[in-house]
Structure 1
Amino acid sequence: MNAVECWFCSTPIRGGRFLRFDMYRNAQYTPLLVAVHARWEQAWVNIPRCERCGFGHGVERVTRWILAGSAVVTVLPTLLMTGSYLGGEPWADSWQIVYPWIWTLAWLGLWLGIRQHRIPWRRLAPRPERHARAHPGVRALAEEGWKPGGPFGPG
C-alpha cells in the first residue's frame, strides 16, 4: 500500500486528507476534592483517508448519534407511561407511544444498514472507521503500550 492511498479503500488521495487517530499512555490520575486531575502522554497517527471514506464515516457517526438521541427520547416517555399504568392512572392516548418507537427502529435499521454495508450507496466507505486500528502505525504504537482514544473515553 502506498502512502498516498486511502487506508480504507485503496484509492489514490489528492491533497493531505487523513484521519487523525489519537492514542495515549502512562495516564496518571490524582483525585482532588471535587474532580480528578489527569496527566498522560499523547500521540497520534495520520491515516490516509479519501473524501469518499471521510464522508461515509461521517454519515455513520451522525446516524449513530441520532439513533442514540432517538433512543433516549423514546425510553423516557415509555418509562413515564409504564409508571402511570403501575400507578393506576393510565394515559388516555397511550397508543401514541408507537410513533417514537417506529422512529427509533427506523434509525436503528438505517444505522445497521450503513454499518453492515447493506445499503448500496456508493458514497459510503467500504470499511468502517474502526478499521484504522489495523493500520501499521497504530499497531506499532499499540505494541509499545499506547492505547486508542483518550484516558477518559474509548477510542
Structure 2
Amino acid sequence: MKRQCWFCASETTATRHDRVVGLHRDVQSNPTWYLGIRTKWQSNSVRVPRCERCHHGHIIEQSMMALSIAAPIAYAASGQLDTLLGILPSTSGGKVHAVIWAVVACLPTPVWIATRQAWLPWNRLAPRRLRHARRHPAVQQLREDGWHYRPGPFPYGQNAKDPVPERLSGPSARPRRILGRITGLLGLASCVVTVVLYFRDSELAALFLVLALGLFFLSSKIDPEM
C-alpha cells in the first residue's frame, strides 16, 4: 500500500519507519491508602507516515542534539573550562589551547540547529523536523477532541503505544526500546570519556571513540522508536 511521507511528501510503504505520536486525556489523580497518589488517564496514539530517508534524518538530528549537549560537558570535565576562566593557573599558550577547544566544543550546537532546520545541503536529512508529526491531520483531530500531547501527563514518561499491532519491528518492542536507549547512553558516556582521555594524552582515547561510534550505530538499529 502506497502512502505519502508526512515529512517530505514522497511515497513510502515501510511502516516500521513511521512516527508514532502519543496523546492522553481524562487525567485523574486519587490518593491511596499508603499516602500516595495514583494517577490514571486515557491514552491514544497516531501513526504518522514516514519514509526511510526522513527516519534516518531524524536519527541524525537526535544524534547531533546529544553531541551538542555532550561536547560542552566533556569540555568542562576535561578541566579546560577552568583554564579558560583562570581558575587553574596556566600559561598564555594553555589559554589559547583552551579557547580553541571551547570553539570546537560549541560547534555541534550550530550544526544541530542547521540539521534540525534542514539548512545543510545533504539529501539524507529530513526536510521537516520530528516535531512536525504533531501537525498531522489525525493528530490535530484528536487535539480538537480534547486530547493532549505526550502519551501520559507530566512527569510520567510512558511510551506511545503503536496503534497498529502488525508493526515490522515485532510485537515486543519495549525490550528493544530499553536496550536501545541504554546503548545510546553508553555511547554518549564513551564520547565524554574519549574527550577526557584525549586531553590527558592517553592512547585509550581512540579506542573509546571507536566504541562510542559502534554503540551509537547499534542504538540506531536496536531502538524501534528512533
TM-score normalized by the length of structure 2: 0.56
Residues matched between the structures, number: 150
For 2:29 and 2:128, the matched residues in 1 are separated by 35
Structure 1 or 2: more strand by fraction: 1
Q: Whose helix proportion is higher, 1 or 2?
A: 2
Partner of 1:62: 63
Q: Indicate the SS of the match to 1:39.
A: strand
- In 2, distance between residues paired with 1:8 and 1:35? 43
Alpha-carbon distance in 2 for matches of 1:143, 1:112:
31
Q: 1:62-87, CA deviations, whole angstroms, 9 ceiling, x for partnerless residues? A: 111111122333456577558873xx
1:5 is matched with 4
SS of 1:38's equivalent? strand
The superposition leaves residues 1-39 of structure 1 with CA deviations (integer Å, 9 ceiling, x where unpaired) of: x97110111111123241111111223345788976432
Match of 1:146 in 2: 147
The 1:82/1:121 distance shift into structure 2, 3 A limit, reads closer
TM-score of the two chains, using structure 1 as the length reference: 0.78
Greater RCO structure (CA 8 Å; 6+ sep): 1
Per-residue Cα deviation, 1:88-134 (whole angstroms, up to 9, x for no partner): xx333662433542232210121122122221000111111111111
Q: How has the CA–CA distance of structure 1 residues 9 and 83 changed in structure 2, closer, same or farther, with 3 Å as cutoff? A: closer
SS in 2 for 1:9: coil
CA RMSD of aligned residues (A): 3.3
Structure 1 pair 106–82 and aligned structure 2 pair: CA distance change class (3 A): closer
Letter in 1 for 2:120: I
The verdict on how the C-alpha distance between 1:14 and 1:80 changes in structure 2, with shifts beyond 3 A counting, is: same
